[in-house]
Structure 1
Amino acid sequence: MRYLTIIFLFCCIQSNAQITGNPYVKDSSAIKLDTKAVNTMIGKWKLVRTEDHFQNEERVSDRGMIVDFEEDGAMISSWCVDCHQEILGQWQVLNEQTIKFDNNRAEATKFLAGEWAVYKLTEQEMILAKVLTSSGNWKKFQYYSRDIGNLPVTEVDPNCINCLGDSWCFGDRPEEAKRQYLLLNDLLRSDENQHQHSAEIQERYDWLLNHAPCINTSLYINAVKYYEGLLQREKNEQVAKSYREKIKQIKEQQLLYFTN
């Protein structure tokens, strides 16, 4: 009876454990990671999007990050062809089904970290998956493409990439641009405390105007309104002069990126 109890407990643990990281449960959709598969993975890929499926819910995020899986196990990232590259972390093959990503930039790219199975791998396309429940009702996916884009043609183009269909362009650091834009709008909506956040609001406007100047015309329209409001309330002539210069600069930059 004692041994039957142990066997029963072992089976319960196995059936309720996560598939990823569980050596006793294999993912039937995963591709075997032989030498040919690993060699195909090596090189540059564009992470096009990630998907999170949980029960009947689905969350899809457009990405655009270029990830270079190097032979020595390093992961190098950039946001456009010939852009500044950063060491993202390390990758390694744990077993015939599992790849592990150790991510050094956990906050900005935490969606990459962990252990993944390869669901599809060709010369042009790769799909990675992570099954988080034994029932399979919670899965995460990463979709990669070998089409990583072309070199920027002009100095303006690097700031006008990673665009969505509704003409929102997030530049060469789209994840950070989206984060900055959301934080900016949260600060602007807190009207009663807006004056307390003036320095932070201006800092976020500066970041977006420098790193994602092609994001959308609304960035410029709202920035001009914000600085005009500061100008109307300002009593110090020197500070007021700096606001007038800032408004002029914003309008000139708007004409550079948005001629209509």
Structure 2
Amino acid sequence: MKESIHTIPLTDAFKAEDECPFCYLEREAEQHAISFALGSGASYMEDDVRAETDAMGFCRHHYKMMYDYGNRLGSGLILSTHLKKLNQELAAQMDLFAPGKSSVFKRMQKTSLDKQGRETAIGQWIDEKTHSCYVCDHFKANYNRYLDTFFDLYKKDEEFARLFREGKGFCLPHFADLVETAEKKLNDKQKAEFYPTLFKIMKENYQRLQEEVTWFTDKFDYRNKDKDWGNSKDSIQRCMQKLGGGYPADEPFTEGL
């Protein structure tokens, strides 16, 4: 299959032999976005970039990445104009806010916040703001295309299909996305081949991780102190990645990297 802007990174991710190729792509994308926004190219000084960061802001995870990255001046400039825009919107939301009618019944109910179904306009607006992120959007813009490209390659490129079959599977969130996408991208005959292969890969690799992390704990038994660690030394972070996605053991991504 002809190489493209999406096939090359996807193939490279599978060749990396990571616990989840899509986590690998996500990390590459978020590091690129942080470097683009705060790196030596000073993109944060460009009006079009600043307009995006002003409007979208960042999520909690990527604010932490910005802080760790080390460019305090760049972060300060981005935050200065983002807060200016946000303060204007916040003031407008508060000016328009109208409290709901109170009742004895409501006051007697136990508090149970459903963030997916906020009842107030301010709550809904804040949810929108805290789920909007310049860095997350950088990956989301390409993620669906990566999923489509995965199935295009799987169907047409035997070398890629082999990488998939011999890979380590996927984290649970990206596994769910693959299944959801397969339902739309594959015909019945292709599904009959794909799902058994995917499920076999997932079962084998989740069992592998279970055994590795179990051996990690068993090594703390004095009877096993002289036995080989095998592949268990970094099993905790790989299990965490497999279950939740991401790279919990990564060192902070900094300006010097």
TM-score if structure 2 supplies the norm length? 0.26
Structure with more contact order per residue of length (Cα contacts < 8 Å, sep ≥ 6): 2
Q: Which has the higher helix share?
A: 2
